[in-house]
Amino acid sequence: MVAELAVGKHIMAKTTAGKEYHGNIQAIDADHFTMLPDYTTAPVQVAYSDVLQLGPNMSKGTKILIIVRYGYRKIRVLLNREGWQVGKYLVERIYREEGLTLRQRRKRRRRVAEHRRERFHPTAPNQVWSMDFVADQLADGRGFRSLTVVDIYTRECLAIESEQKLKGSDVVLVLNRIKMQRGAPKMLYCDNGSEFSSQAMDLWAYQNGVRIAFSRPGKPTDNAFVESFNGTFRAECLDAHWFTTLTGTRQIVETWRREYNESRPYRALGERTPNEFAKGIAASRDSLGLQTAENSL
């Protein structure tokens, strides 16, 4: 039998110690899940090995299936990367039979709108970075914010900085840290928040020769790349974990960031990871530079 676990799902869990919990799942990890029992505010961690009964008519030894926010196309790519030569239609059929189909968003009605100005399209890494904030809270109710920085061309996540408060000076510190590793970009995409329009940010941009392109008020689509990334970050990281401390939050977020860059295939990059795509560009540049040097001799 298969017990489907998903964040937000209401379940009954009975452990080998004789305790029985009824509540909503808050987070799912590799060896345990965290649930918030009814009529209490204290979360409980339950190890899969301690589960005696999970839901009605499910005994010990029940196979637990963790629902991941991946469609059948991405699952097929991951299977192929692990050596399983399976076709798209086979994976789709099994995916539907197991009831894993993701909920589709309703299409919005198209409305007449004024076209925005054409934005600069990067043709190489490190030309345009995009920044934004994502808000969440810890288990005790304290809020925190995460600054996300993305390279638009390679889709690499360059940094995710999580703090309870982030000011313009903190944004500058993060940008300087990235600059030491890969240099400064030519342009920054961001909204009109006070952190991005501060004097500290304006001075940093002037000193490094960086142009800041602000989004139009009420138009998040002007910064669509980082908005899309933030949606993935929230669904696959923030909504999938129960954060108790800010230190633990930073560790979980950094682990997810590395996994996103190194292991998660991206359809727009030819089903390659952002790191693989960036390394491929660097290798082609090196070979082109070598050929140019040989021809000049």
Pairing outcome for strands 44-47 and 32-37 = antiparallel
Provide the token pair at 203. 């001075």
Rounded CA-CA distance 277/266 in Å is 9
Residue 284 in domain: no
Domain co-membership, 172 together with 57? no
Domain co-membership, 46 together with 167? no
Amino acid letter at 203?
L
Residue 123 in domain: no
Domain co-membership, 146 together with 267? yes
Rounded CA-CA distance 186/129 in Å is 8
Domain count for the chain: 3
Residue 37 in domain: yes
Residue 264 in domain: yes
| Residues spanned by the domain of 153 | 128-279
Domain co-membership, 51 together with 141? no
What is the domain-level CATH number for residue 61?
2.30.30.100
Q: Which of 47, 1, 40, 3 is nearest to 24 (CA)?
A: 40
What pLDDT, on the 0 to 100 scale, is given for residue 1? 33
Residue 137 in domain: yes
Residue 108 in domain: no
* SS3 at position 84: coil
Amino acid letter at 244?
T
Domain co-membership, 23 together with 88? no
Q: What is the mean pLDDT of each run of 10 residues along the chain (297 residues)?
A: 59 72 76 75 75 53 50 84 86 80 62 56 91 92 94 94 93 95 93 91 93 86 89 90 91 94 88 91 71 55
